[in-house]
Amino acid sequence: MNIEQKIIEAEDRLAIRELVDRYAYCADTRDAQGQMDLFTEDTNFEVYYDPKSGVPSQVVSSKSELFPVFDNLNSYDATMHFNGQSTVKLNGENATGIAYCMAHHLTLEDGQQKFMVAAIRYEDKFVKEDGKWLFAERKLLVDWIENR
């Protein structure tokens, strides 16, 4: 790999990490449209509340159907998604990756705080369209939840 290829690879890796972080930022700022803009038109988005079952709890098969999924975060008074370690495998204009996230959710009920933390693992497929990396597929796997 020559220096130019190494630079392109580094740029692609950074762009993908920024995509993953932007997704979390949009979630926490309740920017459902911003989250949607990070996906391809024909995206596949799956949620697994019991990943060991191998059966998704929710499946969305187009970008246009994502709004209610992301808008659902408005049911919380506040959220904070902390992205952790991630891996990315590049293959030209395509890539796959796994990212870990601790998602904190706060609600206020009758003056009392309720706190839920979800340990999330994302299994992603990315595609570069018009020079921009997007999610082609995102599987959200909830490894465990803690309620306080």
DSSP the chain: --HHHHHHHHHHHHHHHHHHHHHHHHHHTT-HHHHHTTEEEEEEEEEESSGGG---SEEE-SGGG-HHHHHGGGGSSEEEEEEEEEEEEEETTEEEEEEEEEEEEEEEETTEEEEEEEEEEEEEEEEEETTEEEEEEEEEEEEEEEE-
Per residue in 45-98, pLDDT tens?
A: 999 999 999 999 999 999 999 999 999 999 999 999 999 999 999 999 999 999
pTM confidence score: 0.95
Domains of the chain: 3-147 (3.10.450.50)
Name the band, by pLDDT with cuts 50, 70 and 90, for residue 1: confident
